[in-house]
Amino acid sequence: MGRSIARKTEQSRKLQKRAEQFIPGGVNSPVRAFGSVGGDPVYIVRGGGSHIWDADGNEYVDYAGSWGPLILGHTAPTVVEAVIAAARKGTSFGASTPAEADLAELVISAFPHIEKVRFVSSGTEATMSAIRLARAYTKRKYIVKFEGCYHGHADALLVKAGSGVATLGIPGSAGVPEEFTQFTLALPYNDTDAIEKAFEKFKRQIACVIVEPVVGNMGCVPPARGYLEALRDITERDGSLLILDEVMTGFRLAFGGAQELYKIQPDLTTMGKIIGGGLPVGAYGGASKIMDLVAPLGPVYQAGTLSGNPLAMAAGFATLSYLREHKDVYAKLDKLAGEVVEGVAAAAKDAGVTMCHNRVGSMFTWFFAEGPVTNWTTAEKCDTKAFGRFFRAMLENGIYLPPSQFEAAFLGAAHTERDVQQTIAAAKQAFAGVQV
C-alpha cells in the first residue's frame, strides 16, 4: 500500500525515543503518541500554509491544524508579525496590557449574548471556570454533560456515562474520586428524551448543561434538528444555564461560531483554539449579571499568571481581525471541505470500503462504519483498526490526519484545490490497501 519508496522515519523515531526518557510516553498530550492508530509519532519541525514538514524531511498536507486553532494555516504572516511585534515589547508582565480589552471587544462583537469575557490560557480552564460560575450563579450543584463530548480535563468533566438514562456519571480517569463526579450527570448526545428525564428527576437542582454544539471530540457529530433548541428551552424553563462549549466551533463554523449558525443564544460561551491563533488562550463570557460574579467584582475565584498574555492576545487579535475582515472565508472553507470530504467518500465507495462521513463547514470526520454516526453509541461502532490503516496509508502518501478516529479534521484558509486533489488521490491509493 502507498508509495513504492517508503517514507523515511528514522529521525522522528530517534526523537521519540529521546523524549520517552524524559516525558511520560514522550508526549505532552496523549493522542500525539499515535496510540490508537499505530506507527511512529511524527516529529514536526516546520509548517507553512496548509503544509507541515517532519524531522525526516517528509512533507504533508495538514488536516489537524493544531487540533483546530490554525484556521489561517501555519505561519500566517499577519499572525507571525503581530507576535514578533508583541515579543519585542516584552513577553509577560502579570499586569494589564491594552491588548486585552482589544481582543475582548473583538470577541464580544462576534457573540451577541456576551457582555463581558474573561481570558484564561486553555479550553480546560475556560470550561472549568464557566461551570464554577454557573454553580455560583444558580446556587445549584448538578451539571449535565454528554457522552462523547470533551470539555478539557477538569475532574468533574472527565466522566463516562453510567448505565441507563439520567444516572450519575462515573469517573473517566484514575485519580478522580467518585465524590468529585457525583454531581455530574452524563447523558447521550442528540437525545431530547434523556435531557427531559434528567430535568424531571433533578428538578431545579441542575446548575448548567454544557455541550459541544457541534461535537468535534467523538469525531464530527452535528446536532439533530431541533436538539439545541430543546436544550435551550429545557434549561430556560428550569432556571438552569446553557453553556455552549465553542472551544472548537467558535470562529470555525462562522465568525460567531455554532450559535450564529444554529441561532441559539446560550447563557455562557466557552472559547479556545482559534481565539488564540495558535498561542495558548481560552475564554468564557456571558451577560454582565453572570460574569460580574467573577473576582474581583464577585465571590467566584479564578485567576492566572499568564492569563491575557500579550503574545497570545496579539496572535488572537490578528487571527480574529483577519476573519472579521474576510467573512467570505467561511463560504470558501465550506466549499473546499465539501470537495475533499465527498471526494474521499466517493473513493471509499468505489473501493467497496465501509465508511460514512459527517461535516459541518470546515470540520469533518470520515468514520469507518455504516453510520449514520449521531452520538457516542454509534461512533463507538467504528472499525478503529481500519481507521488506523487508513491513517497510516494517508501518512505514507503525504496527508496528515488527526491521529484518532474520534477527532474532527479541519480545513483552513491556506488549503488549496491542489491539496484537495492530492488528498483524494492519496485516499484512492490508501483504500486499495485498506481491507475493511
Ligand X SMILES: *Cc1c(COP(=O)(O)O)cnc(C)c1O
Site for ligand X, rule CB under 6 A = 122-124, 127, 150-152, 212, 216-217, 245, 247-248, 272, 282
Q: Based on CB atoms, which residue is closest to ligand X, 410 or 431?
A: 410
The C-alpha atoms of residue 137 and residue 139 are separated, in whole angstroms, by 6
The C-alpha atoms of residue 223 and residue 31 are separated, in whole angstroms, by 25
Which one of the listed residues 60, 150, 189, 400 is annotated catalytic? 150
Range list of β-strands (E), 302-362: 356-360
The C-alpha atoms of residue 174 and residue 212 are separated, in whole angstroms, by 24
Which one of the listed residues 245, 267, 383, 419 is annotated catalytic? 245
Tell me the closest approach of the beta carbon of residue 157 to ligand X, in angstroms: 9
In the residue annotation, 245 being an active-site residue is answered as yes
Q: Based on CB atoms, which residue is closest to ligand X, 246 or 419?
A: 246
Tell me the closest approach of the beta carbon of residue 39 to ligand X, in angstroms: 23
Q: Based on CB atoms, which residue is closest to ligand X, 61 or 283?
A: 283
Tell me the closest approach of the beta carbon of residue 353 to ligand X, in angstroms: 28
Residues 6+ away with beta carbon under 8 Å from 209: 143, 144, 145, 195, 231, 234, 235, 240, 241, 242, 243
For cell 486553555, the residue is 122
Tell me the closest approach of the beta carbon of residue 154 to ligand X, in angstroms: 9
Q: Based on CB atoms, which residue is closest to ligand X, 210 or 355?
A: 210
The phi-psi region of residue 292 (left if phi > 0; otherwise alpha if psi is between -120 and 50; otherwise beta) is alpha
In the residue annotation, 150 being an active-site residue is answered as yes
Tell me the closest approach of the beta carbon of residue 29 to ligand X, in angstroms: 8
Tell me the closest approach of the beta carbon of residue 273 to ligand X, in angstroms: 6
The C-alpha atoms of residue 333 and residue 364 are separated, in whole angstroms, by 12
Q: Based on CB atoms, which residue is closest to ligand X, 2 or 282?
A: 282
In the residue annotation, 383 being an active-site residue is answered as no
Which one of the listed residues 227, 273, 383, 400 is annotated catalytic? 273
Residue with the shortest CB distance to ligand X: 123
Alpha helices in 55-165 (DSSP H): 77-88, 99-110, 123-138
Q: Based on CB atoms, which residue is closest to ligand X, 73 or 216?
A: 216
Residues 6+ away with beta carbon under 8 Å from 303: 295
The three-state (H, E, C) secondary structure of 362-413, written as one string: CEEEEECCCCCCCCHHHHCCCCHHHHHHHHHHHHHCCEECCCCCCCCEECCC
Q: Which residue numbers are catalytic? A: 150, 245, 273
